[in-house]
Each structure stands twice: as C-alpha cells, then as structure tokens.
Structure 1
Amino acid sequence: MAATAKERGREARERLLRAAAELITERGWNGVSTRVVAERAGVTAGTVHYHFDSVDALLTETAVGTMRAATAWLKTALEQVSSADEALTTLLAALDSYGGSDPESVLFVEAYLAATRDPGLRERISAVLTELRTALTDRFTEHGITDAEATAAVVVASLDGLVMHRALNPALTTGTVRAVLRRLLTTEHDGEGDRHDETADGDASTEKGDRS
C-alpha cells in the first residue's frame, strides 16, 4: 500500500532530524545550512522550511528532542529506585554511555554552546534539565536527603559537567566523582548522629576536666 501524504511528510521530517543530528556532530552547529541538511536527508530545500521555520528551528528541535529522549527513561528509572544512593547509581550508570567523543556527547556540547547565544534554545534546554532535577529532587525528598532540591541541582550539574569535560578528557570516568557525590547524600538522621557524637565528645571532655 502506498504511503499517504501525511506518512510521507512524517518520514521526511524524521529524516531531517536525523540528518541534522549527524551534521551537528560533524560540522558544528553553525556549519549546518538548509542546503546541506536537505542534501543529507534526501529532500528539497523547500521541504526543510515546510516542516521548520528555519534551520535554527530544526537544530533546536533536534537537540532538545535528543536530550528529552536521553532523560525520559532516566526519569522512569528514578521512579523505581529504593534509596537515594540507588538514584545516584542510576544516573552514574547512564552517564557511562557518554564517552565525550560519541555523537550524542558532541551534540550536547554544541547545543550548550549555541544556547549561550540563543535565548529560545537556552530556555528549552533548561526546561529539560529542570524536569530531571525535579524527578531527582522527588526521590531525594522521599528518602530523607537533607536539602533535597539543592542536592539534586548540584548532582545534575556535576554529571552534566562531566559529559562536557569528557569531550576534552575521555579518561574521566564516573568513578572519579562517585565518592564525592555520595558524600552529598546526607539525611537528617545522619545530622542527628553527628550532633550526638559532638555532644558525647563534649561531655567526655567536660568530665575529664572535672576529674582533673
């Protein structure tokens, strides 16, 4: 059965998104033009502007769509964790798939750089990251992490930065930051334990002073 016009249009749009993703990693954000992306996708230049207002709109949709796909399953996985440490482990395991020079890592770096000059792109990327931070905050809150929102923000920013740094140093692994990030996962109970230890130490010192 022949494809309908709607199906052909949807297929052309998907080809454009795939072509844009490839070209961003190969040429850089500013190296993608209407002509180049149309040629890669096997469509006319007019088809590009039929589906997207501009090349920048196509690139934005490509980058944001890739980021949403990367974080969507993470948010689902976070709903299944049974501890804050497991939530962190889930994020770190996901990060291990980004080596710094792989297409998605390069795409993310290019998108972040472009976002510094494009408020619309910056807003949409921020929305994706906010959704991930919110999901992590919910898990941290559920498991009693102190200042869950701020802790989630630091964890996400750290992992995000690690992806960027791997573009320069692929040898940088999640093992480098795992222990440091785990130290952020303190609970109110941990704080009470610390205060109890401090009180006990103080009482012991006082008692020793009294005896002397």
Structure 2
Amino acid sequence: MSGQRGVGSRSSQTRADIIRAAGELMLDQGYAAVTYRSVATRAGVTPGLVQYYFPVLDDLYIAILEAGTDGSVRRLERAAASARPLRAVWAYANDKAGAALLLEFMALANHRKSIGPVIGRGGERLRRALVDALEPTLERYGLADNEIPPAAVVFLMSAVPRMIRLEEAFGTVTGHAEMIELVEKYLDEVEPQDT
C-alpha cells in the first residue's frame, strides 16, 4: 500500500464521486469488480483520473471504508438524538446494504491484509459511538445499572442483524425469527410504539 490513501484534494467532488461509484460497484458486483476502468465508467471519469486520486486500489478501498464509517457515525449521532434512539439503532443495524458491504470488505480483507485493520478501527469507532449514543438513553430508562451493560446491548443490537444477513445468504434461518422477536420485545418494553 502506498500509505498516502490517495492524492488530490480530499474535499474534491470528483474524489467523492469516485468513492461512491466504487462502493456501489462493490455492493452490486462484489469487490473483484472494482477496477480503475469499472470505477471510472460508473463515476463518469477517466481511468487515469481514478488512478490519480487512488494510485493503489487499496487506497480506494480504505477511502470507501472511511467515508462509510464517517457517514455511519453521523447517522448514529442523529439516532441518539431521536425520540426512540434504541429503535433507530436497531433500524441502522438492520440495513441490508450496509451488512452486505461489510461482508464484501471482510472477504476482501482475506486477500488484502491492509484492509483488516481499517475495518477494525472503523468498527471500534462505530461501536464506541453506539455506546456513547445509547448510554444516556439506557440510563434514562433505568437500564444502565441493569445486569446487561450498555456495551453488551449495543453489541447484541448491532451483531444480531449482521449475523442474520450472513446466515440468510447461505440459507440458514433457524432461530432468526425468534431472535428478532426477542429484540423487538425488549424494544417494546423500553421504547413502546405510539398507539
């Protein structure tokens, strides 16, 4: 890896378009479809311009991860400020596209060792943002002193949907409906739906 994470202006709209196009390709066709030419076609630029911004493809993958993490942290901050933050986090965690993209990055990390640590840092940043966002809510509901620590609630609410998506992709579904029902029951107790 070049260590530069790309060149050119980090605030460039062209750079942002390239990152978006590459993320869409990963989601639609898998990480192997991400080439300078395919990204350029999707972004409406030349392959040379993609390579100018991202001299090494790992730099582009890392930029996708970092942009996704930044967006998710902003989304979680909004969720924490919502009337039903636990339900907002549950909805975030159930985002099928986000789970699918994470699985693509996990597969990519098996082949490109520079990607794994970036996934880890982003995951830790998101998990920390979730705990920070939900701790006041759990305290307000009188659940922070419960036998389930806030970090455990966050882990369950974020890991369960991802595992369900992973297993469903291979046809394993036993226990999924029951687990979703258990979480929904928990949410109904602490953040009842309006009637």
Q: Give your verdict on TM over 0.5.
A: yes
- In the TM superposition, residue 24 of structure 1 has moved relative to its aligned partner by 0.8
Contact 1:15 1:41 in 2 (8 A): yes
1: CA distance between counterparts of 2:29 and 2:184?
38
Q: Aligned in 2, Cα 1:167/1:65: closer, same or farther, shift over 3 Å?
A: farther
Structure 2 segments unaligned to the other structure (5+ residues): 1-7, 188-195
Contact 2:72 2:126 in 1 (8 A): no
Residue 126 of structure 2 is aligned with which of 121, 125, 128?
128
Code of the residue aligned with 2:151 in structure 1: it is E
Alignment correspondent of 2:107? 113
Alignment correspondent of 2:29? 27
The RMSD of aligned alpha carbons is: 3.5
Q: Aligned in 2, Cα 1:104/1:178: closer, same or farther, shift over 3 Å?
A: closer
2: CA distance between counterparts of 1:154 and 1:39?
40
> The residue matched to 1:43 in structure 2 has which SS?
coil
Q: Aligned in 2, Cα 1:182/1:37: closer, same or farther, shift over 3 Å?
A: closer
Aligned counterparts, 1:1-212, within 5 A: 10-81=12-83, 86-95=84-93, 98=96, 103-115=97-109, 117=113, 118-126=115-123, 127-145=125-143, 146=146, 147-168=149-170, 176-181=178-183
Code of the residue aligned with 2:53 in structure 1: it is H
Code of the residue aligned with 2:12 in structure 1: it is R
Alignment correspondent of 1:191? none
1: CA distance between counterparts of 2:166 and 2:73?
16
- In the TM superposition, residue 93 of structure 1 has moved relative to its aligned partner by 3.6
1: CA distance between counterparts of 2:64 and 2:53?
13
Contact 1:137 1:152 in 2 (8 A): no
Percentage identity across paired residues of the two chains:
22
Q: Which has the larger radius of gyration?
A: 1
Instruction: Count the aligned residue pairs.
Output: 171
- In the TM superposition, residue 13 of structure 1 has moved relative to its aligned partner by 1.2
Structure 1 segments unaligned to the other structure (5+ residues): 1-5, 186-212
1: CA distance between counterparts of 2:36 and 2:130?
32
Higher helix share: 1
2: CA distance between counterparts of 1:115 and 1:142?
39
- In the TM superposition, residue 49 of structure 1 has moved relative to its aligned partner by 3.1
Code of the residue aligned with 2:132 in structure 1: it is T
Contact 1:79 1:139 in 2 (8 A): no
2: CA distance between counterparts of 1:167 and 1:67?
24
Contact 1:19 1:37 in 2 (8 A): yes
2: CA distance between counterparts of 1:177 and 1:71?
26
Code of the residue aligned with 1:80 in structure 2: it is S
Alignment correspondent of 1:205? none
- In the TM superposition, residue 110 of structure 1 has moved relative to its aligned partner by 0.5
Contact 1:133 1:156 in 2 (8 A): no
